[in-house]
Structure 1
Amino acid sequence: MSNIHKRPADQWSPLYFLASVGAGGLSVTFYMYLMHWVPHPGRTVAVFEDIAAALATGNPALTFAIVVALAGIAVFGALNLSLLIWNLRKMRGFWASEKGQALANSNAQTQMMALPLALAMSINGGFILGLVFVPGLWSVVEYLFPLAMVAFLAVGWLAFTQLGRFIARVTASGGFDCAKNNSFAQMLPAFALAMTGVGLAAPAAMSGNVTVAGIALILSSFFFVAAVLIAVVGLILGLRSILENGVAAEQAPTLMMVVPITTILGIVMLRQAHGLGTSFGAHMEAADRMMLLTRLLSVEVLFALFGLTVLAATGYARRFLAGDAISPGNYALVCPPVALSVLGQFWINNGLVAAGLIEKFGTAYWALTAVALALQAVAVGLVVYLHRRHFRAAPKAALSTA
Structure 2
Amino acid sequence: MNTSRHRPADAWSPLYFLASLGSGGLVVTFFMYLMFWVPHPGQPVPVFEDIRAAFGTGGLPQQAAIVIAVAGIAGFAFLNIKLLIWNLARLSEFRKTDAFARLVNSNGETQLLAMPLALAMSVNAGFILGLVFVPGLWSVVEYLFPLAMLAFALIAIVAFRRIGAFLGRVLSDGGVFDVTANNSFAQLLPAFALSMIAVGMSAPASLSTLPLTVGISLVLSIMLGVIAGLYASVAAIVAFNSMLHHGTARESAPTLMVVVPILTVLGIMTMRQEHGLHTTFGGQGGMADTLLLTTAILAVQLVFLVLGLLVLQRQKYADAYLRRDGYSAGSYALICPGVALSVMLHFWINKGLVDAGLIAKFGGAYWSLTALAIASQFAMIGLLVLLNRRHFARRAADAAVPAE
Answer whether TM exceeds 0.5 for this pair: yes
Distance 1:49 1:28 in 2: 19
For 1:324 and 1:242, the matched residues in 2 are separated by 26
Aligned counterparts of 1:58 and 1:284: Cα–Cα separation in 2: 32
Q: Please list the CA deviations of residues 16-58 of structure 1 after superposition, one character each: whole Å capped at 9, or x if unmatched.
A: 0000000000000000000000000111101100000101104
Q: Which amino acid aligns with 1:134?
A: V
CA-to-aligned-CA distance 1:73-100 (integer Å, 9 cap, x gap): 0000000000000001111131221211
Residue type at the aligned position of 1:214: G
Q: C-alpha deviations, 1:288-344, integer Å up to 9, x for none?
A: 210110000111111000000000011100111112110000100000000000000
Give structure 2 stretches of 5+ with no counterpart: none
Partner of 1:171: 171
Aligned to 1:116: 116
Contact 1:15 1:329 in 2 (8 A): yes
Paired amino acid for 1:399: P
- Deviation, 1:239, is 0.5
Equivalent-residue separation in structure 1 for 2:172 and 2:239 (angstroms): 21
**How does 1:36-47 map onto structure 2 within 5 Å?**
36-47=36-47
Q: What residue in structure 2 maps to residue 400 of structure 1?
A: 403
Paired position in structure 2 for 1:133: 133
Between 177-186 and 165-174, report the one with greater CA deviation: 165-174
Residues 209 and 309 of structure 1: is their aligned pair in 2 closer, same or farther, counting only changes over 3 Å? same
Separation in 1, partners of 2:15, 2:185: 14
* Percentage of matched positions with identical amino acids: 56
Retained in 2: the 8 A contact 1:204–1:217? yes
User: How many residues are aligned here?
Assistant: 401
Whole-Å Cα distance in 2 between the matches of residues 159 and 3 of structure 1? 41
> Counterparts of 1:180-199 in structure 2 under 5 Å?
180-199=181-200
Tell me the residue number matched to 1:5: 5
Distance across 1 between alignment mates of 2:107 and 2:73: 35
| Corresponding residue for residue 248 of structure 2 | 247
After superposing the two structures, state which structure 1 stretch, 234-243 or 390-399, moved more: 390-399
Q: Are 1:4 and 1:393, in contact at CA under 8 Å, matched by a contact in 2?
A: no
Is contact 1:274–1:283 with CA below 8 Å preserved after alignment? no
Q: What amino acid maps onto 2:283 in structure 1?
A: A
Paired with 1:120 and 1:285, the residues of 2 have a C-alpha distance of 29
Q: Hey, what does 2:69 align to over in structure 1?
A: 69
Give the TM-score normalised by the residue count of structure 1: 0.98
| CA apart distance, 1:284 | 1.3
Secondary structure of the equivalent of 1:183? coil
The Cα shift of 1:238 comes to 0.9
Letter in 2 for 1:250: E
Q: State the alpha-carbon separation in 1 of the partners of residues 114 and 284 from structure 2.
A: 35
In the TM superposition, what are the counterparts of 1:100-111 in structure 2 within 5 Å? 100-111=100-111
Unaligned runs of 5+ in 1: none
The residue identity in structure 1 corresponding to 2:168 is A
Q: What's 2:295 paired with?
A: 294
Quote the residue 2:227 is aligned against.
Answer: 226
TM-superposed deviation, 1:59: 1.0
The letter for the 2-side match of 1:27 is: V
The question of 1:80 aligning with 2:80 is answered yes
- Name whichever of 27-36 and 87-96 sits farther off: 87-96
Which stretch of structure 1 is more off in the superposition, 52-61 or 149-158? Answer: 52-61
**SS of the residue 2:140 aligns to:** helix
**Matches of residues 3-402 of structure 1 in structure 2 within 5 Å?**
4-174=4-174, 175-395=176-396, 396-401=399-404
State the secondary structure of the residue aligned to 1:325.
coil
Distance 1:4 1:290 in 2: 56
> Deviation string for 1:217-261 (max 9, x for gaps)?
000000000100110011111101100001100000000000000
Q: Distance in 2 between matches of 1:4 and 1:397?
A: 13
Bigger drift between 85-94 and 344-353 goes to: 85-94
Shift of 1:196: 0.4
Counterparts of 1:38 and 1:206, CA distance in 2: 17
Q: TM-score, normalised by structure 2?
A: 0.98
Q: Deviations over 1:134-171 (max 9, x none)?
A: 00001100000001000000000000000000011111
Aligned letter for 1:259? V
Secondary structure at 1:212 match in 2: helix
